[in-house]
Structure 1
Amino acid sequence: MCGRFALSATPEEVRALFGYADTPNFPPRYNIAPTQPIATVREAFGARRFVLVRWGLVPGWVKDPASFSLLINARAETAAEKPSFRAAMRHRRCLIPASGFYEWHRPDAGPKQPYWIRPRDGGIVAFAGLWEEWCDPDGGEIETGAILTVAANATVAPVHNRMPAVIAPEDFDCWLDVQNTPLKEARALLRPAPESLFETVPVSARVNSAIEDAPDLVEPVAASQGAIRDEAAAEPAPPKAKRQTAKGRKPSDDQFDLF
């Protein structure tokens, strides 16, 4: 699962990597949370486009988004078959620029320890994403998205058993070209990142609050005692499924202040 991530690169750096023609201007974000806008890159009419969508995918067939589960992640292994994701896997794939992501490790005793998982050599990565468009009966439209996840590689596994699928720059065209890339070929790109790509850094529990959004959130801190077990220990058990719905949720006042 990926429940928080960051995009602290400049607009120029993001545009240079993803090669879109748009010229958006946006501030750095260090703690992007579900229901907030996220940056995505998609292909439309033969060119790449930068588009903001709400994080939490809503399929077009949903009648009432307020009572629908908040789908922030999609398992790469089953997305092509699941009713909520299969149309987007075939027709609405995107890239999600990120400077890194957060995961929480639960030790045998004590509180969860958050970790900032970032590219070892710095820079930006592209998460594999899906997007959808939902229209209400009055004609209003909202575009939403989700991050595809895969089994964690050996670097991330001691923290969490899942991680975002990362698309390499040389595979951007293949992933985004939904017209000419067979689904089987696109699915083959959804695999754990090379073990050398990321490093895990313990960070302050302040990141637990979506209100917090500052550069020092990604600064290393001393990990809680026992926060990471020996790598030879058994892999963490998969988290229990937890149904999240938007119904009755009171959104924060700043949830649409990403850009």
Structure 2
Amino acid sequence: MCGRYSLTATPEEILEFLSVVSIDDFPKRFNIAPTQPVLLIVAGEKPLPGSNLPARQAVLARWGFLPGWVKDPKEFPLLINARAETAIGKASFRAAMRHRRVLVPASGFYEWHRPSKEEGGPSQAYWIRPKRGGIIAFAGLMETWSSADGSEVDTAAILTTRANRTIGTIHDRMPVVVDPHDFERWLDCKTQEPRNIADLMKPADDDLFEMIPVSDLVNKVANMGQELQQPVEPKLRPGRSEPRGQQNQLSLF
């Protein structure tokens, strides 16, 4: 599950990390939530000037995936995540897995440790970020949905996989993180079919992330400041050495 994340990098940092040809200025975002516009990176057609690197494009889409065949979005669940293990075969994601794979730049994400019946007590929010700082890129899917009146909206979902040993102490799922060396393979929907990039949809290395307990401020979408990522004394300490049991996918419609 990935239900909240953050992107606080500068446009210049995103340009360098993801080889984007250009990007508009935007504010730091500490609490990105479903249904909000999110930044996506898509494959470009030409190389960057003076380089062999592809000139990738930055686009905005609504976080909440809608397949093109949906008639009424109010009667269809808003899919913020797609399970990597089944996305290739799912009717909702099959076309996007083949034709519209994207990268979702992030500075980190939030997850909640929810107590078992034996543990009791309140849930504890965690800010999960790369130990060495910087930007990461989640594996994502994009789809353009068209309404009956001809208007269009770009929508997106983040792929998730089973949690690594670090994240598994609080939750059973985590976003798929694409290594920079694999950006081109992931975005290449012309020659790389879904079966060719299945090996990229795996848990991140156990030592990639650190988990910082934070306050309940992140629970409210209206809270958007840097204070969301300030460490607190945890109300509930992670104690599992293996990932938790399966959780249901979040739906917001």
State whether TM-score is above 0.5. yes
The yes-or-no answer on 1:67 pairing with 2:78 is: no
* Amino acid corresponding to residue 53 of structure 1 in structure 2: A
Query: Match of 1:174, as an amino acid?
Result: R
Q: Which residue of 1 aligns with 2:164?
A: 153
Give the match for residue 21 of structure 1.
Answer: 21
- CA 1:22–1:76 in structure 2 vs 1: closer, same or farther (change >3 Å)? same
The CA deviation at 1:242 is 5.9
State the shift of 1:245 in Å. 4.5
Q: Determine if the alignment matches structure 1 residue 87 to structure 2 residue 95.
A: yes
Does the 8 A contact of 2:170 with 2:243 survive in 1? no
The offset of 1:244, in angstroms, is: 2.7
Q: What SS does structure 1 have at the residue aligned with 2:43?
A: strand
Contact 1:115–1:159 (8 Å) recurs in 2: no
Q: How does 1:24-173 map to 2 (within 5 A)?
A: 24-46=24-46, 47-107=55-115, 108-173=119-184
Partner Cα distance (1:191, 1:165) in 2: 6
The letter for the 1-side match of 2:218 is: V
Distance across 1 between alignment mates of 2:85 and 2:195: 12
Identity of aligned residues (%): 50
User: 1:94 and 1:177 mapped to 2: Cα distance?
Assistant: 9
| 1:254 paired residue number | none
1:205-216 matched pairs, under 5 angstroms = 205-216=216-227
Could you tell me how far apart the structure 1 residues matched to 2:26 and 2:13 are? 12
Task: Confirm or deny: 8 A CA contact 1:100 1:117 kept in the other structure.
Answer: yes
Partner of 1:7: 7
Given that 1:67 and 1:245 are in contact with CA atoms closer than 8 Å, whether structure 2 keeps it comes out as no
Structure 1 unaligned blocks of 5 or more: 247-259
Equivalent-residue separation in structure 1 for 2:85 and 2:127 (angstroms): 25
Asked whether the equivalents of residues 5 and 108 of structure 2 are also in contact (C-alpha less than 8 Å), the reply is yes
CA contact (8 A) 1:9 1:99 kept: yes
The 2-side partners of 1:204 and 1:92 are apart by: 36
Q: What are structure 2's unaligned runs of at least 5 residues?
A: 47-54
Is the Cα contact below 8 Å between 1:40 and 1:51 reproduced in 2? Answer: yes
Deviation at 1:230, TM superposition (A): 4.6
For the residue of structure 2 that corresponds to 1:173, the secondary structure is helix
Task: State the secondary structure of the residue aligned to 1:157.
Answer: helix
1:237 aligned onto 2:248: no
Paired with 2:86 and 2:165, the residues of 1 have a C-alpha distance of 22
CA distance, structure 2, for counterparts of residue 227 and residue 203 of structure 1: 12
Deviation track 1:88-121 (CA, whole Å, cap 9, x = no partner) reads: 0000000000000000001221111000110000
- Letter of the aligned partner of 1:27 in structure 2? P
Structure 2 distance, partners of 1:102, 1:213, is 13
**Deviation at 1:176?**
0.2
Corresponding position of 2:231: 220
User: Which stretches of structure 1, 4 residues or more, deviate above 3 A after TM superposition?
Assistant: none
CA contact 2:168–2:243 (8 Å) conserved in 1: yes
- CA distance in structure 2 between the partners assigned to 1:214 and 1:245 by the alignment: 24
Q: CA deviation at 1:227?
A: 3.0
- For normalisation by structure 1, the TM-score amounts to 0.90
Of residues 174, 192, 200, the one that matches 2:185 is 174
Q: Distance in 2 between matches of 1:230 and 1:69?
A: 31
TM-score normalised by L of structure 2: 0.92
* Secondary structure at the counterpart of residue 167 of structure 2: coil
Q: What is the rounded CA distance, in whole Å, between the counterparts of 2:24 and 2:15 in structure 1?
A: 9
